[in-house]
Structure 1
Amino acid sequence: MATIAPIVRITDDGFALWQGDRLVAAHSADMPMVTVGRGTADIEMFRGNFRLSDHVETRTPLAHARVIEAQGDDAPVRIDLAEREGAPVALSLVVQSDALLLESHDSAVNRCWLRFSTDGVEKIFGLGEQMSYLDLRGRVFPVWTSEPGVGRDKTSAFTQAMDAAGNAGGDYWTTNYPQPTILFERGTALHVDTHAYCAFDFMAADHFIIECWDIPAKIELFAAPTMADLVSALSTRFGRQPLLPEWANGGTIVGLKQGEASFARLERMIDAGVPVTGLWCEDWVGLRITSFGKRLFWDWRWNRDRYPHLDRRIAALAAKGVRFLAYVNPYLAIDGALYQEALAAGYLALRQDADMPYHVDFGEFDAAIVDFTNPDAAEWFADRVIGREMLDLGIMGWMADFGEYLPTDVRLFDGMDPMLAHNAWPTLWAKVNARALELRGKTGEAVFFMRAGGTDVGHYCPLLWAGDQSVDFSRHDGIGTVITAALSAGLVGNAYSHSDIGGYTSLMGNVRTAELLMRWSDLAAFTPVMRTHEGNRPDENLQVDSTPELLDHFAAMSQLHADLAPYTRLLCEAARTTGLPLQRALFLHHEEAMDSDTLQTHYLYGRDLLVAPVIEADATRWTCHLPQGTDWVHLWTGAHHAPGSVTVDAPIGRTPAFYRADSSHAPFFADIATRHVARLEAIGL
């Protein structure tokens, strides 16, 4: 797809940079496009939560610009920027057909502030996987991978209490998967080519500022006729995932962590009608009990005490079409055998002040970092750990957790500055997991899922999950955030997203209600992968099989998910050719649908099915926005509705959903709805 090359126009007081009819940036002596400086960062990390501050020593606006005209049609335009006329050139912008190259001429400079233009009304999206806001206007968004935090609302007493307990409360911008890429509603995008800390300031109406703790190599520019075409182009740039295996779409992955007792629970679920295609036992490595809850023993080997016959169990499950899934992360507990093996081979990241492994406090135990900048260490983890300990055992999937914890005072094998390695680490971790699949010929057959991410993670990670939501309906950390997460991540090239049914984090007496658990299952039925999680405190929280009523409801919703599999499969195949995510913001097919009230609470599942999950407690009716261009059919009643706002009954088990009246899949949707309603009526819903 052809892009729109930027054009430099000289003005009376500087220059303007245009991309088609869009003003990208304007420079004048009073309002320079680029400011450079020098700063010293102050970073505090506590269990994946970060406090970041910067002592800015110098800050110099580059007020004087000298535009050097291109010599030839295809030659780039060069703009030399200096503090004032006659001063040495501090930085040069090289305007190429699809990017702005930044060339610093002062080695002492390690900060820059870039000023770009907006029209004052257009919406801005992107920045990786965001949890709180899809439209970014009016706020500042730092780009730094971290724990998202618990609560994520600085005005709430719950978040404030978590902040007091180790800076763990988070904020609206904290995310496992940030990426310095933004999209504008008129079909253009830019990406900052750096792994350094950045902050995007969208507070002003007519411009935004990108602060960067480095001089980025370039600013990549994209343009497309439609928003869907733009997302397709970004997916090409950042990587399209391999096709998900059919078993991941065709049934439910049940997460249990009761050791050998998990298998009997699984059989009871199957007997209740749950179409299970995966059993996920993250406790396959054994448990470590802490004040946070039941934690795993981070030595990535089969724990024969907790699962004495796991090899035979895996084979028996496979014979019934059920895959076994496990858990791994990129750290090694210092009291485990694999730690000693990695230590002896020199595969661990080191302290800066000594030739000793760097140990990270993960809450009542320490772990070391496998140094993925060392090619031998990365290959060891892919082949020796994931390959031999997991894939060779018959494990066909796993949660590839963490990735966002890399400290900024660690010493790495290749000499990389850890301040730059930090945001790059999730992609390096994804690459190790993808390499493990490649080594065993399991790409597209086995699957791993990650919460951490960053630039280029789509090249390697086949499936995202939305991280550790609180077990509630809260605005910034509850069920609704998984919709925003899927939509925002999908805009930068990630086709597949899913979440822990019921949420994960249960602290300070906050526990799942039956309503929350059922509403989450209702939502998950309309996602690419449906997977349960018992959470960090399973004994204190309801599970999908805690009562006959919950199990009946879960069976019905998982059967609906399985019924949708043929349609989901078509969307997966389309994702490989178009790069479009399965869960899509309405504006990807209806660009007039930019209403912020519904922008991040509704989504299109493919082009033909609109889903508006109930994400508030005690709601029995739900207002939905139906886009222009077609009539819509209510999935559960068959009632036709014109475009616009409509309020429908929304009982548990019947997520508000509509399909296009002119859809070729209309008979399919009507058929699965009939079967689903009959199942609900049979269990009294």
Structure 2
Amino acid sequence: MKFSNGYWMTREGYEVLSPYEIHDVRVSGNSITVFATHRHLEHRGNTLNEPLMTMEFSSPMKDIIRARFYHHKGRRRAAPDSFDLLANGNAPVVIDNNDEFVSLTSGDTTVKITKAHPVVITYTHKGRVLTGSGTRQTAFVRAQDGKHHFREQLNLAVGETVYGLGERFSAFVKNGQVVDIWNEDGGTASEQAYKNVPFYVTNRGYGVFVNHPELVSFEVASEKVSKNQFSVAGEQLEYYLIGGDSLKDVLGGYTSLTGKPALPPAWTFGLWLTTSFTTNYDEETVNSFIDGMAERDLPLAVFHFDCFWMKEYQWCDFEWDERVFPDPKGMLERLKAKGLKICVWINPYIAQRSPLFDEGMENGYLLKRPDGSVWQWDMWQYGMGIVDFTNPAACKWFGDKLRALVDMGVDSFKTDFGERIPTDVVYFDGSDPMQMHNYYTQLYNKVVFEVLEEKLGQGQAALFARSATAGGQQFPVHWGGDCEATFESMAESLRGGLSLGLSGFGFWSHDIGGFEQSATPDLYKRWVAFGLLSSHSRLHGSTSYRVPWLFDEEAVHVLRRFTKLKLSLMPYLFGQAVQSSRLGLPMMRAMLLEFPGDRTADYLDRQYMLGDSLLVAPIFNEQGQSAYYLPQGQWTHFLTGEKAQGGTWRDETYDYFGLPLFVKENSIIPVGATNDRPEYDYSEGVAFHVFELQDGASASVRLPDLQGADKLQASASRSGGTIAFEASDSTGWSVVLRGVSSVAGVTGGTFETSEQGVVVRPESGATKLSIQL
């Protein structure tokens, strides 16, 4: 929201009250409170009829500074007045209060407030300036209509770029944009977003989290081009400045505050196939797809039933449409006997024709209007109401419907919608509807996720969720929503995923081939490569089926190629997923996250790192042309073995069976012995592929079991012409030196050459190898 009229003036109807000079400072335990006047006080009489700004600074955990600003502190805020944070207390801090300034340091991150006028607030990490605010920046904005706001303007340095703010499909770098944190069902082609998160990071290595679940308006280098402004309605503002040695540390701090991503079960990383949205399907149709995949040697892990598993006009009643599924329990048993997991579509809306509507209305389980009647409209479903998840009884009622489906054989739920939440409603617990609009999805997904954890066990819950807000990363997986079947939409989907990853979300997917319309065979095959090199992979669409043989025969072979590639990479991918869950990092990483010192990486949004070692550059055109950038270092193409020196852009042409897929130097990629399913013993027969180990360098990798615990660890180091390799046990592993044509000898094992390089196998019982190059 804009309050300025150019540089000098304020917009008509507003009065901007900024801190001018410090009147008093109070130190209390682990926090400081600063009282600032809005003008210079020439004499004691000026203290009359004069507002102050109250500024509180503290720290909930190391390297995180909490800033709270107030005009009238006693103004009540209804729930949810903030996000549900995991650390609300005070961490140890160091406070310096002298004649010139007062400062608070948490870990290596410091906030300093000058006492001389004008007031300047500066945030640093290890003495390095991150950002701050000064004259006419921090402000309480008093409006003539009584709708007051609080705003902050944090400095942006020359060359500083801003990222995140949720899953945004606009330009990856947010500078110059106006971003409203307000969940909308707007597809992937506009400034609207399903997943709005009031958290951003910059290439200067810090993050800012605005702890307000309601509408937060960001003017990112737009109202004032050297500032990132954010504002909220009301009399107070709270935000957190998160410092660290790297953006990875910043994301770790943010997710320690708002919740780490849960580790999805290993089976979720396999290929998902759906009925698609409005297509006709019954058990015979479903089996034709599943059997067709098996006959063509296309490994399938999950089958998803979209909306029409229930009767039209009755979404949601959680009952199978008996006209097309007369024996749903038996059908699910037959499908699961084929080794499949089952997912079904749901949403938090109850249509009037659903038998559950009357039940929900009578028991107070649906959102109400101020007059006590049920809130309804016809958008999406005729006469639908919305489940009130602030009512514990409604949560149990909704959850019981899901428990019955899990008992029947369902393994996962696609939690669709949750964005179109009205603000002219009354909640059971008295929550403020403006503050609940974005927060509603958090309650919705939490209820569903906890049902799955309860029924299937810890570590076995997985959603396929569309809407989210801050903290939603705790309930993976999320997908990008309704994209079009175009290369442009494929690219905007990737931008959204990278943006979400820099907003604390670890796992993300998208509709391979696009949701709206039907892809051309060319687009489908290019999107397959992108989709199978994403954290999660799903074939889904709107009006047509997405099985590959309906596109062309080559599409079958392309899908087989990349599905089996992903499954063989599961020892690497699941290991990276474990790290994402533990550290709060995305599996699909914007390039600047891995290469923070490379300024070219700041703007890259058509390629990404899949984990910490694999670079993926999808192809976005019919000609198969790829323009991508390799950062400094030696790189090796994972599929072809081609070596390339980084620090430059490359232009190449690929057929449908390839794309730029490079491994950075000093990496170990564990490759599994299985490529027909995602769940297997990743240590059995694993081959550790070692890429361009430089002299004096080392690399290590951990293979998890299916619960995410470390099972097999391996490391390699090079000194001169000798590579030392060690594993934590001797169970059937091998080493592949990629791109090496021969070695002089091996101590502790045997070797042979292959197309990929030199294969070294340890002697029986050996855990160490010494390889002479």
- TM interval, short-chain normalised: 0.7 to 0.9
Code of the residue aligned with 1:124 in structure 2: it is V
Q: Retained in 2: the 8 A contact 1:286–1:303?
A: yes
Deviation string, structure 1 residues 608-630 (Cα, Å, up to 9, x no partner):
10001112x223221211112x2
**TM-score, normalisation: structure 2:** 0.71
Q: Retained in 2: the 8 A contact 1:269–1:545?
A: no
Q: CA deviation at 1:63?
A: 5.3
What CA distance in whole angstroms lies between the structure 2 residues aligned with 1:673 and 1:558? 22
Q: Retained in 1: the 8 A contact 2:520–2:551?
A: no
Q: Which has the larger radius of gyration?
A: 2
Deviation string, structure 1 residues 293-335 (Cα, Å, up to 9, x no partner):
xx98432222222222221121222233211110111111110
**TM-score, normalisation: structure 1:** 0.80
Q: Structure 2 matches for 1:64-463, cutoff 5 A?
A: 64-71=20-27, 74-82=30-38, 85=41, 86=47, 87-89=49-51, 91-97=53-59, 98-105=65-72, 107=75, 110-149=148-187, 152=189, 171=190, 173-202=191-220, 203=222, 204-249=224-269, 251-257=270-276, 258-260=281-283, 261-283=285-307, 285-288=309-312, 297-352=315-370, 354-363=371-380, 365-382=382-399, 384-388=400-404, 390-459=405-474, 461-463=475-477
Q: Retained in 2: the 8 A contact 1:259–1:284?
A: no
Code of the residue aligned with 1:408 in structure 2: it is T
Identity across the alignment (%)? 23
Q: Retained in 1: the 8 A contact 2:591–2:608?
A: yes
Change (3 A) 1:357 1:71: closer
Code of the residue aligned with 1:275 in structure 2: it is P
What CA distance in whole angstroms lies between the structure 2 residues aligned with 1:589 and 1:537? 39
Code of the residue aligned with 1:555 in structure 2: it is R
Change (3 A) 1:123 1:306: same
Q: Retained in 1: the 8 A contact 2:598–2:631?
A: yes
Deviation string, structure 1 residues 579-611 (Cα, Å, up to 9, x no partner):
221111112221123426851111111111000
SS in 2 for 1:447: coil
Q: Retained in 2: the 8 A contact 1:81–1:92?
A: no
Code of the residue aligned with 1:404 in structure 2: it is E
Q: CA deviation at 1:90?
A: 5.0
Structure 2 residue 480 is the aligned partner of structure 1 residue 466: yes
What CA distance in whole angstroms lies between the structure 1 residues aligned with 2:356 and 2:577? 37
SS in 2 for 1:438: helix
Q: CA deviation at 1:225?
A: 0.5
Q: CA deviation at 1:284?
A: 5.6
Deviates more, 1:336-345 or 1:448-457: 336-345
Deviates more, 1:546-555 or 1:268-277: 546-555
Q: CA deviation at 1:347?
A: 0.5
Unaligned runs of 5+ in 1: 1-29, 38-55, 153-170, 289-294, 679-685
Q: Retained in 2: the 8 A contact 1:482–1:498?
A: no
Q: Retained in 2: the 8 A contact 1:192–1:216?
A: no
What CA distance in whole angstroms lies between the structure 2 residues aligned with 1:673 and 1:518? 28
Q: Retained in 2: the 8 A contact 1:285–1:296?
A: no
Q: Which residue of 1 aligns with 2:524?
A: 517
Change (3 A) 1:306 1:349: same
What CA distance in whole angstroms lies between the structure 2 residues aligned with 1:415 and 1:371? 11
What CA distance in whole angstroms lies between the structure 2 residues aligned with 1:229 and 1:377? 39
Change (3 A) 1:214 1:463: farther
Q: Retained in 2: the 8 A contact 1:278–1:323?
A: yes
Change (3 A) 1:73 1:248: closer
Deviation string, structure 1 residues 519-549 (Cα, Å, up to 9, x no partner):
111101111211111x22227x886644433
Change (3 A) 1:283 1:633: same
Identify the match of residue 487 of structure 1 among 494, 498, 505: 498
What CA distance in whole angstroms lies between the structure 2 residues aligned with 1:174 and 1:83? 40
Structure 2 residue 562 is the aligned partner of structure 1 residue 557: yes
Deviates more, 1:88-97 or 1:331-340: 88-97
Give the total of aligned pairs.
Answer: 584
Structure 2 residue 619 is the aligned partner of structure 1 residue 595: no
Q: Which residue of 2 aligns with 1:641?
A: 644
Q: Which has the higher contact order (CA 8 A, sep 6+)?
A: 1
Q: Which residue of 1 aligns with 2:534?
A: 527
Change (3 A) 1:387 1:104: farther
Identify the match of residue 659 of structure 1 among 658, 663, 687: 663
Code of the residue aligned with 1:272 in structure 2: it is R
Change (3 A) 1:325 1:545: farther
Code of the residue aligned with 2:411 in structure 1: it is M
Q: CA deviation at 1:145?
A: 0.5
Code of the residue aligned with 2:352 in structure 1: it is I
Q: Which residue of 2 aligns with 1:538?
A: 544
Deviation string, structure 1 residues 100-133 (Cα, Å, up to 9, x no partner):
1122317566422222212132111111111222
Higher helix share: 1
Deviates more, 1:591-600 or 1:424-433: 591-600
What CA distance in whole angstroms lies between the structure 2 residues aligned with 1:128 and 1:357? 31
Structure 2 residue 505 is the aligned partner of structure 1 residue 505: no
Code of the residue aligned with 1:111 in structure 2: it is H
